[in-house]
Structure 1
Amino acid sequence: MKNLTGFIATISLTLVLSASAFAQTVLTSVDGAKVDIESQDGKVVVLAVGAAWLPLSAKQIEFTNALAKKYAGKNVVFYFVATDSANSRSNNHTSIADIRKFAGVNKLTSTVLLDPDGASTIKKYNVEQVPSFVILNKNGNVAGEPFGGIDPKYDITVPISRAIDKLL
């Protein structure tokens, strides 16, 4: 009986972790649409992982907009993933209204996706610092290490463009 109970517990844990991993690839936009970021029909996906409360994310939006303009009409899609927590008790809590305002003030041209616990995307894609950029290949798999540590004096679009070009 102990073996059966242990087996059932192991299977249950595996199912829960599998469901959790899948859920991390489906995020909700600020408009309420569900987006599976790993299933983009043969497109390269660029995730700008940032936060509305983080001043460097405004510079990240400039880079994201420049890249989106450069790759307009090509098989590349850009998303800004807001890692701001939905939990009002969290230190990095930001309301959806404030995230929308942040995107509007900074003239973000890409869809904003919400990572409501503020950590799922960071964990899934091994992001060590925010803001960062993560690139997924046309099969939805991570293509290289995240581009992190945005320096406002350095044009990070150059290495990101090289990485995108290799995938097209």
Structure 2
Amino acid sequence: MTQVVETVDQQQLRTALGHFATGVAVVTTIADGEPIGMTVNSLCSVSLTPPMLLFCVGHRSQLHPLFASASHFAVHVLSARQEEVCRQFARPGRSRFGDLPWQPGRTGAPLLPNSLVTLECAAERVIPAGDHDIVLMSVRHLHPVCGDNPLLFFAGGVRDL
């Protein structure tokens, strides 16, 4: 018989949810005239009509105030060949772009090359949720999909299909 845990230990919950495989994305925006970005695995489709997505940003993240107040974003769904991009945007600190090439999208958000798909979005609402904020976005532009395999996050690490 399966034992039910009545009080949830934070580390046990993290380990348990690590068994839910997710895609990996980098969300970018402009803050104080500079490109910023972060790796997320909390990307979720919310609605097709109207097209909406969400991602979550932790309150302890140095980038939290910048993402919580941004008006436009670019969401880059990473391919299996973009593991280094994933790691670069997961590092601490504000300057994560380094020498990565980028160009402004139609919304002004920084676009990275070679993603599986890139979605340009406008912020709709920021919803407090525990130690994170949920950033709800409307999709404004969709950039073509490339045919690579996705980069996945599972059990605390990145994987390929």
Q: Which has the higher strand share?
A: 2
- For normalisation by structure 2, the TM-score amounts to 0.31
TM-score normalized by the length of structure 1: 0.30
Task: Point out the structure with max Rg over C-alpha.
Answer: 1
